[in-house]
Amino acid sequence: MLIHIFYTLNLLLLFSCLLIFRLKTGERRVSLSVVQALLGLPLLAGEYLYLTYYQEQRIVLLLLFSESVFALVWFYMAHRLCRETVTTAIESRLSLFIQIFIGIVVAAPAGYCLICRPAIQISDERLIFDHYGLVYFCAIFLLVSMLGSAWHLEEFWRTLDKARRWEYKFLVVGGYLICGALGWAASYRITYLRLIPNHFLLLAVLLLLAWFLMCYAVARHRLLNRKMFISRKVVYSFVPHPFLPYIFVPSELSP
């Protein structure tokens, strides 16, 4: 029964990405992505805790699906945070449809796991899987998503001025903690082809710590209500030098 609840919550989290078509501004899309990440973190941490004490094949398959969904949501959040601060271009409908298509591709392993369950062996309280199997490719997807998210977060952090860095400090620190924890877990699976229950307990603690840091930043500085501004450094790099005085006029001289 609990496994079905976990599957339902993950599917709801994945389908919530469709709300992006109803949001017209980039700030609201960023807020939606942050909320999705904050909802997905305790869900994934709860599954890690559950798998720590109950090592069953169906729970492992649920975890693979949940990790893929969260990796997708997390990458979109980092991508939108970076996009809203480094570009003035409006996100096209084609880009949104591509993101939805990727979400459908990510959801496909769930149906595969329910119909054709991959072979996972339990030996000495360790879950061992085959090379180039479903678990292997899910680990690669998780690792690539975390690396891409870390790159977007670093780019987002560099575009912020000193005042705004203080507001987003704990959000970015929590984000890097998540990228580091899940990236380490994925690289370990790719290298040793096994899942260790003690790692799940550690991952659950790290994800909950990152969740508290992000919630504190969002609640303390009201980040969901903040406007996203384009960095002047980015505009300086694209606008010819003679036109800069006409773009950034001091407030006391502006009409």
pLDDT tens, residue by residue, 143-156: 988 999 999 999 89
> Which residues, other chains included, contact 120 with Cβ-Cβ below 8 Å and sequence gap of 6+?
57, 60, 127, 128, 129, 135
Task: Give the mean pLDDT of 10-28.
Answer: 82
CATH fold for the domain made of 2-247: Rhopdopsin 7-helix transmembrane proteins (1.20.1070)
pLDDT of residue 182 exceeding 60, the answer is yes
Q: What is the pLDDT of residue 231?
A: 47
212 vs 155 pLDDT, higher one? 212
Residue type, 104: I
**Contact (Cβ atoms closer than 8 angstroms) between residue 141 and residue 75:** no
Q: What is the pLDDT of residue 153?
A: 93
28 vs 21 pLDDT, higher one? 28
Q: What is the pLDDT of residue 124?
A: 59
pLDDT of residue 5 exceeding 50, the answer is yes
**Contact (Cβ atoms closer than 8 angstroms) between residue 17 and residue 206:** no
| Helix (H), strand (E), coil (C) string for 203-252 | HHHHHHHHHHHHHHHHHHHCHHHCCCCCCHHHHHHHCCHHHHHHHCCCCC
130 vs 144 pLDDT, higher one? 144
> Which residues, other chains included, contact 217 with Cβ-Cβ below 8 Å and sequence gap of 6+?
167, 168, 169, 170, 171, 174, 223
Instruction: Categorize the per-residue pLDDT at 117 as very low, low, confident or very high, splitting at 50, 70 and 90.
Output: low
pLDDT digits (tens, 9 = 90+) for 26-38: 788 888 889 999 9
Task: Give the mean pLDDT of 18-44.
Answer: 87
Instruction: Categorize the per-residue pLDDT at 249 as very low, low, confident or very high, splitting at 50, 70 and 90.
Output: very low
How do the domains of the chain map onto residue ranges? 2-247
Q: What is the pLDDT of residue 214?
A: 94
